[in-house]
Amino acid sequence: MVNHSTYASGSELSLSKKLYNKSAYLNTINNSFTELVPSQPEEISPPTIEEFFQLYDELFYEIPKEGEINSHEYLVKQSTNYIGSQIITEDIQALLEEITSLREENLALQQNIVDLTLPTNGINNTTK
């Protein structure tokens, strides 16, 4: 079916309309309302290990240093618990050695104090 209309400007516009019988309509036109149904969200797969560490590097300075969750402190605690031991760095090892040395020195000084404060009972503690 063709319809001719004339506008005030004098130009003619042709409109056409295609008609279908009922069986042709049902076979030709999709009359379901799929476009109004919310689309199913895409299933998001977890990042690969490589992607995780790339994201970690990108977010490193945005992650808080301390906190019960979502912090560097949390990651260290979780990782330490998982591997079952604490990694001793060179700095920590040097401090542990210094503590051991200071304890030995403290023990020697305490022994000197004991030796100086005990009565000698006329016995000379120095041997010649």
Domain ranges, ordered by start, for the chain: 49-83, 90-116
What SS3 state is found at 118?
Answer: coil
Q: Are 38 and 30 contacting, i.e. CB atoms less than 8 angstroms apart?
A: no
pLDDT tens for 73-103 read 999 889 888 887 766 778 888 999 999 999 9
pLDDT tens for 49-80 read 999 999 999 999 999 999 999 999 999 889 88
Residue 7, both tokens: 């506008």
Question: What's the whole-model pTM score?
Answer: 0.38
Task: Give how far Cα 69 sits from Cα of 56, 66, 87, Å.
Answer: 15, 8, 21
Nearest to 78 by CA among 68, 91, 88: 68
Please report, rounded to a whole number, the percentage of residues in the chain having pLDDT higher than 70.
79
